[in-house]
Amino acid sequence: MPPFGFNSSDRTTAPRLRTGRRVTDTAGASWGLGAQKNLLIGIGVLVATWWLMGLLSANRFAALGVSIAGLLLLPQPTPQFVLFASRMTVAVTGAMCWTIATGWPSSVFPGSANRWDKIMALPFWLGCSALLLWPFSTFIRRKRQEATPGTSSDLNDEKWAQVPAIRFEDVGGFNQQKSEMRIVAENRFLANTSGIVRNGVLLYGPQGTGKNFLAEATAGEFGANWYHVRCPQLLGPMIGSTTTEIRRAFDWARAHRPIVMFLDEIDAVGSKKALQGGSDSGGAGREYNTIVTQLMQSIDQCRNIEGLLIVAATNHIDTLEPALIRDGRFDAKLRLDLPAEEGRRGVLLSILKETRWRSHELSRVIRRTVGWSPARLKAMVDRSVLMSNGQPISKEHLLATIESIGGNDRPNLDPVHWDDVVLPEVVVDEIKALIRLMEPGESERLSISPPTGLILVGAPGTGKTLTARLIASLVRRSFYAISPGEVLSGVVGGSVKRLKEVFTRAKENAPSVLFFDEMDGLFPAPSIAVGQHDVQLVEQGLIEISELRPEHNVFLIGTSNYLERIDPRILRGGRFSEKLHIGLPDDAGYRKLIARYLGNARLDPNLELGVVIDRIRDLTPADLEATIQAMKRLALRRMTSQQAALPPVSLEDLENALARVRPQV
């Protein structure tokens, strides 16, 4: 068993390994192209074995040899029923040969036949039973033993072997990185006549880009053991225990060559040292410095050992100790970034070849997955397999999966419906047309590109924010509201960082809507006196908006009372190119608003609804609501203790309420 820190079950699917004994393929994608190939080869070997046994039927011992040879020639991993049939063939021929062997003394010495038969009866039946039961062990799932903290390891245990079945051809894209990995691996695993030593590969980049997968494929490509060390598990609770575990892990790797030793999350034990003389240079800081030093020494000691390749991975290369990752310890530093278009194509083809899929053009799928990591692409394909209900995966399955997994991140969004807003009819038509274009596939079908951004302009209180939330509620998209109070920060660079994080989150959870409330507070015009902080925020906003592409599927909505106060560069075409004016309601809109805000209250019989509309026609919906609430409070003062309902509101209440709500000059 490997030492503490080793994890043999870290993959999301069961690994397919060559471990010196025949194994069956129990991976989740057991009916992928690789498994189908093994199935066909296994059936071919089985048929050839039976055919040769038929030719040698006169010699049962020769038939036994052929059946054993057929079992050894089966491909690995072997489908279960093929392995069962091959083992049953060996068991039957073995039982026949066992019968001949146990009966041979009786044929040579006829006089002792009865006595010999009695002696061999029990061994004969036990042997035959064992042979016939052996094939059924194929269906017994063996629980893989895993390392536990503190378990002692026998470093000379030569039985341990773990060679991955994946190869470089199973890794989509990253051709340059695979080429660099091959150069370093050949230096460690093949004959080295140059005398030059190259060892140590550091893989870094965003999470989910396939660092673990590439390292494991390197081990499979060169037939080396795969030793996955999770560095956080090396950290011990006692002083000195971590350095002991580091030494023990490297000792294990030396004893089981050829081997790829993969240090996952190396920043857990290899981050920058605590500065000497600093606030934490002693105590915990000193102990951590010792850990980093031990790791560097172990790498130095194993650098020149043939058959041992050291590979490490991290998401944050800037946090590592510079002395740890210098040349001479890690000779190759390879960044695995989010794949570009051709890289995503290679990753998708590599993933799809392990599934049942209907070959088709992937251009639309690739355009819709900009910024996706290989791990996210794998999750998309897995979800498509489940949605296909056993049918071959088609382009429609993949596109439907993309639609189903996006647009669900909607923090703090209170749903708004058409009944909640009162807008001019022309505005309603514009919004309905916009919502239609934002539906999946509709803009492509109509060959109409939706606008990248929309600004709702109007007087305060006309319902711009409510309209923006209405759009977000009617489209199934992630929604992120950004106001000056949520972005502006007193920390230097904090506002810029926050703005970048919001755009990144919107792209990761696309399709999405980004809502900028009070844009003049976020992106002020240059004519307004602003500081360096505002300039940086505007520039970052310009960069983030310019980097948005139609494939990102991010729609921008902003509100403002005064367009002239916004930086004109934000308003140009390709950014917030559409401006929609939210004006005052018409008479029908006012009637609807008055009925909504009055609620159970009644108008005085002498106060006609038309008179109320004439008096409040210049009010915004927000001011109208305040006016009617003030009218009801004025009527409340006339209510006696015997009355159960609010007295009707009168014209005098309306005039007094207007005097309160309208600004006084």
Domain ranges of the chain: 27-139, 163-335, 341-405, 418-581, 587-661
Which range (110-124, 201-215, 537-551, 619-633) has the least confidence? 110-124
- Nearest Cα neighbor of 214 from 277, 278, 260, 259 is 260
Q: What is the pLDDT, as a whole number, of residue 203?
A: 95
- Tell me 264's DSSP state: E
Q: Report pLDDT digits (tens) over 606-658.
A: 888 888 888 888 888 888 889 888 888 888 888 877 777 888 888 888 888 88
Radius of gyration, CA atoms only, the chain: 37
Q: What is the pLDDT, as a whole number, of residue 411?
A: 63
* Residue 66 vs residue 8, higher pLDDT: 66
* Cα–Cα distance for residue pair 665/659, rounded to 1 Å: 11
Topology agreement, domain 163-335 and domain 418-581: yes
* Cα–Cα distance for residue pair 98/541, rounded to 1 Å: 82
Helix, strand, coil percentages in the chain from 3-state DSSP, rounded to 5:
50, 10, 40
> Can you give the three-state secondary structure of 158-209, one letter per residue?
CCCCCEECCCHHHCCCCHHHHHHHHHHHHHHHCCCCCCCCCCCEEEECCCCC
The mean of the pLDDT values for the chain is 79
* Helix 395-405, helix 374-387: angle, nearest 10: 110
Say if residue 269 is exposed, middle or buried (CB neighbours under 10 Å; 0-12, 13-18, 19+). buried
pLDDT above 70: percentage of residues in the chain: 81
Partnered with residue 261 across adjacent β-strands are 227, 310
- Nearest Cα neighbor of 232 from 208, 260, 267, 258 is 267
Q: Topology of 341-405 in CATH?
A: Helicase, Ruva Protein; domain 3 (1.10.8)
Take residue 286 and report the two structure tokens written for it. Answer: 């000193």
CB atoms within 10 A of CB 596: 15
The model's pTM is 0.59
Take residue 392 and report the two structure tokens written for it. Answer: 């071959």
| Cα of 86 vs its chain's centroid, Å | 41
- Nearest Cα neighbor of 443 from 432, 451, 454 is 451
- Inter-residue long-range contacts of 599-606, CB under 8 Å, 24+ positions, other chains counted: 600/645, 600/646, 601/631, 601/632, 601/635, 601/646, 601/648, 601/649, 602/646, 602/648, 602/649, 603/648, 603/649, 604/648, 604/649, 604/650, 604/651, 605/648, 606/650, 606/651
Q: Cis (ω within 30 of 0) for the bond into 164? A: no
Q: How far is CA 214 from CA 172, 176, 201, 210, in A?
A: 10, 12, 11, 6
Q: Are strands 201-204 and 332-335 parallel, antiparallel or unpaired?
A: parallel
* Banded model confidence at residue 464, pLDDT cuts 50, 70, 90: confident
Please state which architecture CATH assigns to domain 587-661.
Answer: Orthogonal Bundle (1.10)
* Residue 276 vs residue 461, higher pLDDT: 461
Q: How far is CA 290 from CA 238, 285, 287, 295, in A?
A: 13, 9, 5, 9
Partnered with residue 203 across adjacent β-strands are 313, 334
Give the helix/strand (H/E) hosting 516: strand 512-516
Give the helix/strand (H/E) hosting 454: strand 453-457
Q: How far is CA 582 from CA 233, 454, 563, in A?
A: 59, 12, 13
Please say if the pLDDT value at position 78 is more than 50: yes
Torsion, CA 457, CA 460, CA 465, CA 471, rounded to 10: -40
Residue type, 407: G
| 35 Cβ contact list (under 8 Å, min separation 6) | 25, 27, 29, 77, 79
Q: Report pLDDT digits (tens) over 5-62.
A: 555 444 433 333 443 334 444 333 333 444 566 778 878 888 888 777 777 766 777 8
- Nearest Cα neighbor of 261 from 313, 209, 226, 213 is 226
Q: What is the pLDDT, as a whole number, of residue 159?
A: 66
* Cα–Cα distance for residue pair 239/234, rounded to 1 Å: 12
Judge contact between 20 and 240, C-beta under 8 A.
no
Please say if the pLDDT value at position 262 is more than 50: yes
CB atoms within 10 A of CB 199: 23
Residue 145 — φ and ψ, nearest 5°?
-80, 130
Say if residue 306 is exposed, middle or buried (CB neighbours under 10 Å; 0-12, 13-18, 19+). middle
Residue 304 — φ and ψ, nearest 5°?
-90, 5
* Cα–Cα distance for residue pair 583/461, rounded to 1 Å: 10
Q: Report pLDDT digits (tens) over 569-597.
A: 888 877 887 888 888 888 888 888 888 88
- Tell me 6's DSSP state: B
- Nearest Cα neighbor of 14 from 38, 1, 30, 3 is 30
* Banded model confidence at residue 133, pLDDT cuts 50, 70, 90: confident
Q: What is the pLDDT, as a whole number, of residue 77?
A: 67
- Inter-residue long-range contacts of 654-662, CB under 8 Å, 24+ positions, other chains counted: 654/607, 654/612, 654/615, 654/627, 655/615, 656/630, 656/631, 657/627, 657/628, 657/630, 657/631, 658/615, 658/616, 658/627, 660/627, 660/630, 661/619, 661/623, 661/626, 661/627, 661/630, 662/623
* Residue 213 vs residue 70, higher pLDDT: 213
Judge contact between 208 and 315, C-beta under 8 A.
no
Stretch 532-546: mean pLDDT: 83
Please state which architecture CATH assigns to domain 163-335.
Answer: 3-Layer(aba) Sandwich (3.40)
User: Mapping DSSP to helix (H, G, I), strand (E, B) and coil, where does residue 4 land?
Assistant: coil
Stretch 332-354: mean pLDDT: 87
Take residue 129 and report the two structure tokens written for it. Answer: 């039973």
Which range (312-321, 432-441, 457-466) has the least confidence? 432-441
Stretch 179-202: mean pLDDT: 90
| 191 Cβ contact list (under 8 Å, min separation 6) | none
Take residue 638 and report the two structure tokens written for it. Answer: 């006339």
What would the CATH number be for the domain defined by 418-581?
Answer: 3.40.50.300
| 181 Cβ contact list (under 8 Å, min separation 6) | 168, 201, 214, 218, 332, 334
